[in-house]
Structure 1
Amino acid sequence: MAELVGLRLYSCSNCRNYVCLHDDIISKAFQGRNGRAFLFSHAMNIVVGPKEDRQLMTGLHTVADIYCGDCGEVLGWKYEKAYEEMQKYKEGKFILEKLKINKENW
């Protein structure tokens, strides 16, 4: 964790476990289950749940819910597969809901 000192981070709003870096934000223009969400290229200290197909606003995707690695809070989901060509850029990326994360070191 020493390498994270001084970096702008986001943490789980429930337990303050670090889950992603501000520098890994791809877009802030996403919608989660509970409002605004951010698309991240990477996430850390999380658990990835089972894959399932979901019809989202942008079409059918295979996704897996992501949970805080410490407290188990659902934070968002990981895009495993996009079925539409224009959505392929999301594969392997993470949605974290704004209500589920807090800013750290700002």
Structure 2
Amino acid sequence: MATFESTRYPHLTLQDGTGIWARFKDGRFDTADAAVVKRLRALPEEEGISEVKSSEKAGRPPEAKAPAKSASKEDWVTWAVACGADPLQAAAASRDELAEQYAGTTPQQ
């Protein structure tokens, strides 16, 4: 799992011809998708997007409740990983599978 920060645009949405590939909420974006991580790391510094190091993530509390069933797959992957799922397995599962398995779970501290 990788976390990125957008200091210039806290609600930034990144998309290309195939659709949205990153959506920041309150200046942060979590992803387990290696291709997305690579794209974000390749952005120029001037864009104001940086990767949050593990030691910085420790101070950020996980969300208190599960996303809505209609939330994006990315939101469900983030939630599942916070609840203890393996990041690669969570990324490989469908949104509906993640919602079914993790809707009633609580993030691990």
Range class of TM-score, shorter chain: under 0.3
Higher strand share: 1
TM-score by length of 2: 0.25
TM-score, normalisation: structure 1: 0.26
Q: Which has the higher helix share?
A: 2
